[in-house]
Amino acid sequence: MTARPKPGLDTRAARAGINADPGHGAVVAPISVSATYVREDAAAPGPHDYARTSNPGRALLAEAVAGLEGAAGAVATASGMAAIDLLLNDLPGGARIVAAHDCYGGAQRLFNARAAGGRFEIVYADCTDLEALKTALAPGAALLFLETPSNPRLRITDIQAASDLGHEAGALVAVDNTVLSPALQRPLELGADVTVSSLTKLINGHSDMIGGVLCAKDPEAVERHRWWANAAGTGLAAFDAFLGMRGLRTLPLRARAQSDTALELARRLDAHPSVRRVDHPGLESHPGHALAKRQQSGFGPLLSIEIEGDAHAFVQRLEVFTLAQSLGGAESLVSIPALMTHAAMSPEARATAGIADSLIRLSAGLEDVEDLWADLDAALRAA
Ligand SMILES: Cc1ncc(COP(=O)(O)O)c(C=O)c1O
C-alpha cells in the first residue's frame, strides 16, 4: 500500500477538530464547559483534570494551529497579548530583548512596562535593516521579537536572515504572525523558533472572540509554556476556543479572498490622485515586495494609506468600512493607528516606526470589492 501524502493546508484547516468526540460521535467537537474532570484514580489524572490546566476544545484548537504552523505544539491563551506574555515568562530575569521598532503598540506597552519594572532590558531595532539588527544584537540577546509584515506600515523582515542573526547572538527567535496567520506565512519553516498570534484576527476571522496562541518548535518549550499558562491561569476559555476553531476551518479560504481584495484596493488607491502613499507588500513599488513574494503565500488583508485630505473626515465618511480597532475579520475595518491601535506608543516611538498621525489603516474583509472601492472613492472625494 502506498502511503498517502500529507493532507494540504486547506484540508487540515477544514478537518480541524472534526470527528473528535468519542463520547457522542458529534462531527463538530462540543464545547466542554466543566471546570473540573473526574479522576478514576486519585493518583492518575486523565487527559483533562482542571479547566485552568486544560480543556478539550482549547487543546484541539492549539493542536490544529500547531499543525498549520509546523510546530511541535501550541498553547492557546486568553488573548494575543497573553501569548506574548507567555513568551516573556520563559526568559531569565535581566534578559536582553531586541524587538522590531514597529511591532504592535500593545506589545511595546508590555515590553516597556516590564523593562521599567527592572524585569528586562528592551532594545528596539529596524529589523528590516539587517545591519541595524546586527548592531542591536551585538551585545547578545535572549529574545529577538519580530513582526512581519509589521502592523500598520507592512514592512517586511527577512525571517530566515533575521533568525540566523538572532541565533548567532544566542537569542530565541519569535515572530508575531498575527497579520498573515499560518495560512499565508509559516515562520517556523523559515528559521524562527516560536510564533505568537492573536486568534482574534484572521484565524477566528469573525470578530466575535479574543484569543491568542503560542506555537513552538521545541517540544520542551511547549511544555514550559503550558506550565506557565496553567500557573498564571491565562488559558483560552471554552466558548472562545470553540469560536476560534469554527473560524479556523475557513481560514485559508478567507485569507486568500481578503488578500485578493486588499491587493485590488491597494492598486486602485495607488493610482488615485487624492492618495499620497499606499503601503501594501503586494505592490511592486513596495520595498519588501520581492521578499514578501518569497516568504509569504499571500499578501494579507491589511493596507495603509496617507491621503491628501483630512484623515479624520475620510474615516468618518466611510460607510461600508467600519471605524474600529482590529483586523482580519470578515467585515472591513478602518482605523487611525496613532489614535487607536498604536496610541500606547510615545509620539517619538511612533515617529521612529513611521506611524504618522494621519496614517490610515484598512483591513479588507469579505464584502464585494466594488462596494468597498465605491466607499473609499466617495470618502476620498469628500475628504
Ligand atoms: C500584530 C498584533 N499582535 C498582537 C496583538 C494582540 O492581540 P489581542 O488583541 O488578541 O490581545 C494584536 C492586536 O491588535 C496585533 O495586531
191 to 186, 224, 320, 325, 360: CA distances (angstroms): 10, 21, 40, 31, 32
212 lines ligand 1 (CB under 6 A): yes
Q: Which atom of ligand 1 is nearest to the CA of 81?
A: 11
Q: Is residue 134 annotated as a catalytic residue, yes or no? A: no
148 lines ligand 1 (CB under 6 A): no
Counting ligand 1 atoms within 8 A of each CB, the residue from 101, 104, 195, 333 with the most, and so the one to mutate, is: 104
Distance CA 136, CA 359 (A): 27
Question: pLDDT class for 23, splitting at 50, 70, 90?
Answer: confident
Which listed residue (90, 158, 176, 240) is catalytic?
176
- In this predicted structure, what is the pLDDT of residue 341? 87
104 lines ligand 1 (CB under 6 A): yes
Indicate if 25 and 132 belong to the same structural domain. Answer: yes
Cell of 204: 477566528
Q: Is residue 158 annotated as a catalytic residue, yes or no? A: no
Burial 234-262 (b: 16+ CB within 10 A, else e): bbbbbebbbbbbbbbbbbbebbebbbbbb
DSSP H or E stretch at residue 215? strand 212-216
- In this predicted structure, what is the pLDDT of residue 2? 75
With respect to residue 319, please indicate whether it lies within any of the assigned structural domains.
yes
With respect to residue 270, please indicate whether it lies within any of the assigned structural domains.
yes
With respect to residue 1, please indicate whether it lies within any of the assigned structural domains.
no
258 to 73, 168, 268, 301: CA distances (angstroms): 28, 37, 15, 5
- Atom 15, ligand 1: residue with shortest CA distance: 104
Q: Once rounded to an integer, what is the mean pLDDT over residues 128-133?
A: 98
Q: Once rounded to an integer, what is the mean pLDDT over residues 68-74?
A: 98
Indicate if 231 and 293 belong to the same structural domain. Answer: no
- In this predicted structure, what is the pLDDT of residue 1? 62
- Domain-terminating residue out of 195, 219, 248: 248
With respect to residue 90, please indicate whether it lies within any of the assigned structural domains.
yes
How close is the Cα of 196 to the center of ligand 1, in Å?
9
How close is the Cα of 309 to the center of ligand 1, in Å?
29
Segments forming the whole domain that contains residue 313? 251-382
Indicate if 378 and 241 belong to the same structural domain. Answer: no
Indicate if 184 and 292 belong to the same structural domain. Answer: no
Q: Once rounded to an integer, what is the mean pLDDT over residues 163-192?
A: 98
Indicate if 207 and 304 belong to the same structural domain. Answer: no
Sheet of 275-279, strands arranged across: 275-279, 302-307, 360-363, 333-335, 322-323
Indicate if 211 and 348 belong to the same structural domain. Answer: no
The CATH number that applies at residue 239 is 3.40.640.10
Indicate if 26 and 106 belong to the same structural domain. Answer: yes
Distance CA 170, CA 137 (A): 9
The CATH number that applies at residue 284 is 3.90.1150.10
With respect to residue 3, please indicate whether it lies within any of the assigned structural domains.
no
Tell me the average pLDDT of the chain: 96
pLDDT tens readout for residues 101-122: 999 999 999 999 999 999 999 9
Distance CA 150, CA 146 (A): 8
- In this predicted structure, what is the pLDDT of residue 21? 87
Indicate if 127 and 167 belong to the same structural domain. Answer: yes
Q: Is residue 49 annotated as a catalytic residue, yes or no? A: no
Question: Is pLDDT at 197 greater than 80 in this prediction?
Answer: yes
Nearest residue to 152 via CA among 20, 342, 371: 342
Indicate if 274 and 244 belong to the same structural domain. Answer: no
Domain count, the chain: 2
- Atom 7, ligand 1: residue with shortest CA distance: 80
Nearest residue to 345 via CA among 334, 335, 356: 356
Indicate if 157 and 113 belong to the same structural domain. Answer: yes
176 lines ligand 1 (CB under 6 A): yes
pTM attached to this predicted model: 0.97
Which listed residue (201, 217, 249, 361) is catalytic?
201
Where do we find the cell 494540504?
8
How close is the Cα of 107 to the center of ligand 1, in Å?
8
Determine whether 1 is exposed, middle or buried from the number of CB atoms within 10 Å of its CB (0-12, 13-18, 19+).
exposed
Indicate if 222 and 87 belong to the same structural domain. Answer: yes
Counting ligand 1 atoms within 8 A of each CB, the residue from 178, 184, 203, 325 with the most, and so the one to mutate, is: 178
177 lines ligand 1 (CB under 6 A): no
CA dihedral 27, 32, 37, 38 (to 10 degrees): -50
How close is the Cα of 211 to the center of ligand 1, in Å?
9
- Domain-terminating residue out of 226, 248, 270: 248
Distance CA 334, CA 370 (A): 17
pLDDT tens readout for residues 293-322: 999 999 999 999 999 999 999 999 999 999
166 lines ligand 1 (CB under 6 A): no
128 lines ligand 1 (CB under 6 A): no
Distance CA 357, CA 221 (A): 40
pLDDT tens readout for residues 239-281: 999 999 999 999 999 999 999 999 999 999 999 999 999 999 9
Question: Is pLDDT at 50 greater than 80 in this prediction?
Answer: yes
With respect to residue 269, please indicate whether it lies within any of the assigned structural domains.
yes
With respect to residue 2, please indicate whether it lies within any of the assigned structural domains.
no
CB of 118 closer than 8 Å to CB of 141: no
296 lines ligand 1 (CB under 6 A): no
- Domain-terminating residue out of 193, 227, 248: 248
Q: Is residue 176 annotated as a catalytic residue, yes or no? A: yes
> What does the H/E/C string look like for 74-117?
EEEECCHHHHHHHHHHCCCCCEEEEEECCCCHHHHHHHHHHHHC
Nearest residue to 126 via CA among 105, 93, 111, 148: 148
Question: Is pLDDT at 3 greater than 90 in this prediction?
Answer: no
CB of 176 closer than 8 Å to CB of 104: yes
How close is the Cα of 155 to the center of ligand 1, in Å?
17
Indicate if 60 and 207 belong to the same structural domain. Answer: yes
Nearest residue to 20 via CA among 32, 9, 8, 10: 32
With respect to residue 4, please indicate whether it lies within any of the assigned structural domains.
no
Distance CA 169, CA 100 (A): 16
Burial 121-152 (b: 16+ CB within 10 A, else e): ebbbbbbbeeeebeebbeeebbbbbbbbbbbb
71 lines ligand 1 (CB under 6 A): no
Nearest residue to 269 via CA among 376, 165, 345, 381: 376
Q: Once rounded to an integer, what is the mean pLDDT over residues 169-185?
A: 98
Distance CA 105, CA 107 (A): 5
Q: Higher-confidence residue: 33 or 21?
A: 33
